[in-house]
A = this chain, B = another copy of it.
Amino acid sequence: MALKSKEVGSFREAIADIPDGATIGFGGFAMPGVAFNLIKALLDQGAKRLTLVGNTTGGAQVPRMPDMGMLVENGQVAKVICAFTAATRPTDVLPFTKYYESGECDAELVPQGTLAERLRAAGAGIPAFYTPTAVGTELAQGRETRVFNGREYLLEHALPLDYAFIRARRSDTFGNLQFHRAQRNFNPVMATAARVTVVEVDEPVLPLGAIDPDQVHCSGIFVHRVVQVPPEPEGLWPTRRQERRR
């Protein structure tokens, strides 16, 4: 009785079944933890009318790596749910912005912590929760708030995913994951929220028992498919950050 391996031979195979209209979560924050190779494969795979969930649509960093914005530019996206539809610096312009402003792609802007908590709630069977974030702002206009202990809170709902694309340092054949440093970010949370979690890993997939149970950052019960990232140039890896254009 040994658990079957979840390792899949190629990025293409790992995402072949994604249908039009799917909701896909993208882990990662800046370079670390972004599933560049799975995003690239999705650009080729071509599924349409997708809803994308992630921190930012991307495109502010140089060099540009595969990001949600590229899927938008490729005509595959109906809506993006994220914490940035524009860049932090007003002088940066995200490629996404023109698609959003022209109405070619819809967006839902969500504070980053609320986004993380809505994903966690989806994985944790919590349909809704209250948060102090965004109370009194434009984002709360017309929405339900409630006072607890004299403070006003906003009602927020779970955000379930059909698929999650994440990146980890290592995995065993069951999909128990370890992340390195800032690679962790949204990734284990996205995994709990998704029906199908697809992981790209830096290192060769390990046999069962190779990872200390106390040091698993995301249990394999949340992971469905694992693909090892090949070395450059075939595989995509985080690059050194270059000065941003101003």
Contact = CB atoms under 8 A, between A and B. Distances in A.
A157 to B, nearest CB: 7
A180 interface: yes
A244 interface: no
Contacts of A186: none
Interface of A: 117, 121, 124-132, 146, 148-149, 151, 153, 157, 178-181, 184, 213-215, 217
Given A121-B129, A129-B130, 7 more contacts: A125-B132, A126-B130, A127-B149, A127-B153, A128-B146, A214-B217, A215-B215
A148 B157 contact: yes
A125 B129 contact: no
Contact of A128 (B124, B125, B130, B157): B130
B214 A181 contact: yes
A166 to B, nearest CB: 16
Contact of A151 (B126, B127, B151): B127
A1 B134 CA distance: 36
A-B complex: 8 closest residue pairs judged by Cβ atoms: A127-B148, A129-B129, A128-B130, A126-B129, A215-B215, A127-B130, A127-B153, A128-B148
